[in-house]
Amino acid sequence: MFAPSRVLLRSSLRAIPRTAAPRRVVSAAAARGFASGPPKTSMPVLPILAILAAGSTAFYYLVQARKDPLPAIEAHQPAQQQQIAPPPTKKPTFSPQQVSVIFVLGGPGAGKGTQCANLVRDYGFVHLSAGDLLREEQNRAGSEFGELIKTYIREGKIVPMEVTVALLENAMKSAIAAQGKYKFLIDGFPRKLDQAYKFESDVCPSTFTLFFDCPEEVMLKRLLKRGETSGRDDDNIESIKKRFRTFTETSYPVVEYFRAQGKVIDVDATNTPEGVYAHVKKQLKDKLKTMDKA
């Protein structure tokens, strides 16, 4: 969409030196004219005016081109560095007045699932883990996405967002219909900026993001321990390394995006599960009171 303006910009920049060149020729000619005394015949006014006009036009375009290059360059940055959400494509299915959505983010093994279980027990949230929903879909007999999901998960990559967003939206609708519950912890999602934009524009704007901050060496220990019994395809050292990389390069920019909006609550996730939960409750104290929906 922005490519044509960049092309125009480049070609206008290229055109400037050529168009501007006659100005220098004029002044050289004028200098020569004065060196050999005043001209004997009348001044060629029209050509001089034409040349001056061409020079001014070139100068105008040069100024315009220098004023305006940033948007074109920004528009071509990779998705995860782009901090401005595209305009919404449709009205969200749920409004934040009807439904509360808390995104729960943190690296693999940061303890998101464990802490969500505590919040479900004590505050009546519905817990939706994007990873669990994807694994369920992967194992569902007849799923057209089974193989695709399996490969993405093993490689620690992000499954195309349409699949994950649709799974989450369906699960939210089911929970509202079956349990009449309107408070959601969306765990391990969004893991990429495009998912954040799409979910907030199509499904529901988030209330805030709970971010579990944990160093890689602690997460690695936990994941290897979990791998002894989890049976998960991605709890092995090769997959774990890829997941760490995806988290740093692709998922952390989502935390920064919400942080820039003042919508991140940080939790130190290095402690024991009980210690971390105490910190979660402290951080959420005021927020939890205002979150109950009719």
Please give the residue ranges that form the binding site for ligand UDP (CB under 6 A): 108-109, 112-113, 129-131, 134, 152-153, 156-159, 164, 188-189, 191, 234, 243
127 binds, among ligand UDP, Mg ion, none (CB under 5 to 8 A by kind): none
Find out whether 165 and 199 touch, Cβ atoms under 8 Å.
Answer: yes
Q: Is 55 in the site for Mg ion (CB under 5 A)?
A: no
Structure tokens at 261: 């909006």
Rounded to a whole number of angstroms, the minimum distance from the CB of residue 153 to ligand UDP is: 4
Q: Which residue has the tokens 């349409």?
A: 162
**From the CB of 221, what's the least distance to ligand UDP, in Å?**
13
Q: In DSSP terms, which residues pair with 169 in a beta bridge?
A: none
152 binding partner (options ligand UDP, Mg ion, none; Cβ < 5 to 8 Å by kind) = ligand UDP
Site for Mg ion in 100-119 (CB under 5 A): 113
C-beta of 132 vs 266, nearer to ligand UDP: 132
- Residue number, 109 or 253, with CB nearest to ligand UDP: 109
For Mg ion, which is the closer residue by CB, 113 or 160? 113
∠104-131-250 over CA atoms, to 5°? 65
| Residue type (1 letter), 228 | E
Q: Find out whether 188 and 112 touch, Cβ atoms under 8 Å.
A: yes
Nearer to ligand UDP, 6 or 135 (CB): 135
Residues that bind Mg ion (CB under 5 A): 113
